[in-house]
């Protein structure tokens, strides 16, 4: 088993073990992530991450081809090496979608422009899986 396969399995396990602050433990898809420096990375996200919309701004992947050899990570701690995606945390203001506990959900934001639009001004609203949500927190991109 290669290191990247082992890392992927660990990421999946951590997502399923989390306490509602992360995405549901469903299927993942490959997408693109634009770093603050402009590089385009591969990133694994859940399909519903791509459909999130706050203030009429969607979380679609950035334009352009992947130009980085390594992948960005959707989540990680301060000790991990690499690019850890910027994130936004939502609070459901309506009934939680099926397979969700109703706890807050944290998703990676795929482009700097979307992140800026979602975090300024504070407490913006939108939808996640067609359920109303409010932005209650965010975390900037981290690189080490």
In degrees, rounded to 5, the angle at the alpha carbon of residue 13 between the alpha carbons of residues 9 and 15 is: 115
Identify the H or E element spanning 89: strand 87-92
Q: Is this structure's pTM higher than 0.75?
A: yes
Residue 73, helix vs strand vs coil: strand
Name the pLDDT band for 4 (thresholds 50, 70, 90).
Answer: low
pLDDT tens, 54-109?
Answer: 999 999 999 999 999 999 999 887 778 899 999 999 999 989 998 889 999 999 99
């Amino acid at each position: 088993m290669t290191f990247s396969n082992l890392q992927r399995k660990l990421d999946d396990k951590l997502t399923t073990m989390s306490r509602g602050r992360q995405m549901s433990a469903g299927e993942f898809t490959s997408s693109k992530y634009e770093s603050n420096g402009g590089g385009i990375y591969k990133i694994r996200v859940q399909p519903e991450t791509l459909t999130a919309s706050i203030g009429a701004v969607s979380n679609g992947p950035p334009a352009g081809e992947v130009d980085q050899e390594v992948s960005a990570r959707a989540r990680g701690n301060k000790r991990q090496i690499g690019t850890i995606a910027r994130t936004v945390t939502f609070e459901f203001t309506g009934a939680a979608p099926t397979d969700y506990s109703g706890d807050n959900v944290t998703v990676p934001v795929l482009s700097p422009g979307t992140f800026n639009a979602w975090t300024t001004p504070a407490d913006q609203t939108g939808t996640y899986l067609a359920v109303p949500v409010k932005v209650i927190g965010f975390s900037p991109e981290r690189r080490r």
